[in-house]
Amino acid sequence: MPLSSTSKHQEWISGWGQTHPVHATIITPKSNDEIQALAPTLQQWIPRGMGKSYGDASVGHAVIDSHYLNQVINFNQVNGIITCNAGISLEDIHKISIPSGWFLPVVPGTQLISIGGAIAADIHGKNHHQSGSFSDHIHSLTMMTGEGEIITCSTEKDSDIFYATCGGMGLTGIILSATIQLLAIETSWITQSVTQTKNLEETLTYFDENSNVPYSVAWLDSLADQASLGRGIIFAGDHSKKSELAAGTPSLILDTPAPITVPCHAPNGLINPITMSIFNTFYYHQFSFKPAHGIVSYRPFFFPLDSVGHWNRLYGHRGFLQYQCVVPLPSGHDSIKEILEAILKAKTGSFLAVLKRLGAGNPLKPLSFPMEGYTLALDFCHTPKVLALLTHLDEIVERKGGRIYLAKDARMSTSTLKSGYPDLDKLITIKRRLDPHNKIQSQLSKRLNIT
């Protein structure tokens, strides 16, 4: 296959947090055959999906952009099994699957990510406690190694490669296609309950006592202090049944409004403790007056931020950091309390603080993030004071036996990585086997001495 349609250009790229930009060569093949033909010609590369990982996971001096590899290869509308190229977005899968009553079994807070990115980060959703992570629903995947070899693997065939690739942050090779079991839905609506909690104990107890609810997530007011520490709003729900809809409501409809877009970077400092405090107080109290139960479309329930294009520009040119950790259950309540208290003490605030309960992880996947416990995701402005706070949070998470999510990370140390991912060496061994010339490297893998 000639390489004539593969394009290459130079561009500044970064993760979604817009920190640490790199001037990169973007290689854009138009087919999987082209990728294979390219392999021997490349010195160093990393796969890139839609660039929605916050830090430097999909950033490198050369990236293979999977943008054009966006075809559905086969979709069986009877059993919900879909085979697609890895560059296709979750949104584009939903455009095909929702009208025929199928939904992706695990979705993150945005559907503007690729299938390859979802597998490589082994993403989790609001239903991890019941449904596990994204790759738990993969029948098989086909990938290309650093040597240009094509491998199809699954939990049955070459399972060590499969498990290392699920959560492997692109370091074992580029995923070309995947076969995924979708979830049957009667409607595209969600029967939602909204619960306002007064403090952390109430918030965490909700998760502990409501594990039968398929989807749940809490927004926390990270500025609330003293008796209100950890207060928040819990959004929980499940796919509505047809019988729950008002007469005449169409049951399976796509919800795709045109997003409004933040046109340019906001001034640095727009998001500060005062604006955060006003936002948090307003956001928390508005739910005192809103109905606690209702039927909402799937989009605002799962993907509320997708209606604002380039919302990352609100943090200004210096960008922002998302910190996501998970702390194990036995001391989970104390751990989350200690983290929230440390944030208050540092007076940095966090614009967005989201808490979820995770179910058990899979120890066969050496770099997969989930473990049974509570996960907290926090957005911070990118400032020296915040960097010092995050190093302190790392110490708490390490001491408690937790770990940091690589899809969000832009700054943790190698020792924090090793403490959170004790099976890292398994990933490194498999990577050396598949990529003996160490071609596949990202800024993240170099920073953390993985490659």
Binding interface with ligand FAD (CB under 6 A) = 16, 46-53, 57-58, 66, 86, 108-110, 113-114, 116-117, 120-121, 123-125, 169-170, 174-175, 305, 407, 442
Q: Which is nearer to ligand FAD, 200 or 448 (CB)?
A: 448
Q: How far is the CB of 83 from ligand FAD (least distance, A)?
A: 14
Residue 135 identity: S
Would you call 450 exposed, middle or buried from its count of C-beta atoms within 10 A (0-12, 13-18, 19+)?
A: buried
Q: How many CB atoms lie within 10 A of CB 244?
A: 14
- Nearest residue (CB) to ligand FAD, 121 versus 339: 121
- Among positive and negative, which fits the CA dihedral 129, 211, 422, 426? negative
Backbone φ, ψ for residue 183 (5° rounding): -100, 130
CB of residue 230 to ligand FAD, shortest distance in Å? 20
**Cβ nearer to ligand FAD, comparing 114 with 362:** 114
- Give me the least distance between CB of 357 and ligand FAD, in Å please: 13
Residue 51 vs 230, nearer CB to ligand FAD: 51
Helix (H, G, I), strand (E, B) or coil at 417: helix
Looking at the Cβ atoms of 177 and 240, the one nearer to ligand FAD is 177
Residue 54 or 229 having the CB closest to ligand FAD = 54
Find the shortest distance in angstroms from Cβ 35 to ligand FAD: 9
Percentages (nearest 5) of helix, strand, coil residues in the chain? 30, 25, 45
Distances in whole angstroms, Cα of residue 269 to Cα of each of 266, 320, 390 = 8, 11, 19
Give the C-alpha separation, 64 to 405, whole Å.
Answer: 23
CB of 450 to ligand FAD, least distance (A): 11
Smallest gap from Cβ 345 to ligand FAD, in A, equals 27
Give 229 or 444: the residue with its C-beta nearer to ligand FAD: 444
| Contacting residues for 291 by C-beta, under 8 A, at least 6 apart | 194
Report, in Å, the least distance between residue 282 CB and ligand FAD: 21
Q: Nearest Cα to 62, choosing from 26, 12, 86?
A: 26
Contacts of 73 (CB under 8 A, 6+ apart): 83, 84, 85, 177
